[in-house]
Amino acid sequence: MTVLTPPHGQQPTVLLYDWDNTLVDGWAALTAALNVVFAEFGMPSWTWEATRSRARLSLRESFPVLFGARWEYARDLFHVSFRDQHLIQLRPMQGAAEALAAGATWPQGVVSNKVGQFLRAEVAHLGWATRFRAVVGAGDAAADKPDPAPIHLALQQLGHHADASVWYLGDTALDMQTARAAGVTAVLIGDAGHDLGIAHAAPDIHFSSAHDLAAHFRVLA
């Protein structure tokens, strides 16, 4: 486990998590739904690995770039395909349940670029609804990550303001960028090998795994 010193030596008062590849593995369903859309548009399909390395932005940010004027049709097609399978193929990341249990000392929430209705369905499906006092997905705030609006919305729901005692935990450089834009502490879980590595992510704090994160929470508690 590698832990960098938090700003001003503060311990967390609020824990906000990214969702995909931080707490859950939902890449199979996401890849399958994207490939349905790509096939409709005559575009090459993506592998699971390609989706994991490329999928960062929300649909309302990425689909206009990918599909141009027909992006809303592409979005609707994606939603239909994804809705049919995402809960079946959803799996927790290793150590995620342990980390959430250990983090229960502090208010916890989720801030994700997954569409809000799908995000909340997945939280409920895993039986984690009681773990989170705020669940903010794409489309819930005025803008999506890397804009800070979703983090600020989650903190508003928690009755907390943005400062260094709030930890935003994720797996990509975009998550770290979002945390910095929001004025909270950027915490990386994993090696960001799918996103140019730890140095590129430039976190304030780094944990090599969710298991190590859980162990740290138990020490702090």
The pLDDT of residue 1 is 41
Per-residue pLDDT at 3 exceeds 80:
no
Residues 63 and 49 in one domain: yes
Range of the domain at 66: 27-89
Q: Number of structural domains, the chain?
A: 2
- Give CA–CA dist 24/90, Å, rounded: 7
- In a shared domain, residues 144 and 68: no
In the chain, what percentage of residues exceed pLDDT 90? Answer: 83
Residue with tokens 């995909």: 20
Evaluated on CA atoms 162, 221, 145, 1, the torsion sign reads: positive
Residue pLDDT, tens place only, 50-107: 888 888 888 999 999 999 999 999 999 999 999 989 999 899 999 999 999 999 999 9
**DSSP for residue 130:** G
Residue 50 sits in the same domain as residue 100: no
Q: Domain boundary residue among 89, 111, 134? A: 89
Element housing 14 (H / E)? strand 14-17
Instruction: Tell me the whole-structure pTM to 2 decimals.
Output: 0.89
- Residue 2 domain-assigned? no
CA distance 148 to 141: 9
Reference 157, options 100, 109, 106, 105; nearest CA is 109
Q: Is residue 19 part of a domain?
A: yes
Asked whether residue 129 falls in the same domain as residue 141, the answer is yes
| DSSP string covering 154-167 | HHHHHT---STTEE
For 45, other C-beta atoms within 10 Å of its C-beta total 14
Euclidean distance between CA atoms 182 and 38, whole angstroms: 34
36 shares a domain with 20 = no
Q: Which of 70, 89, 108 is the last residue of a domain?
A: 89
Closest CA to 46 of 28, 64, 34, 58: 34
Position 7 confidence tier, pLDDT thresholds 50, 70, 90: very low
For 100-126, the pLDDT digits (tens) are: 999 999 999 999 999 999 999 999 999
Over range 175-188, report the average pLDDT: 97
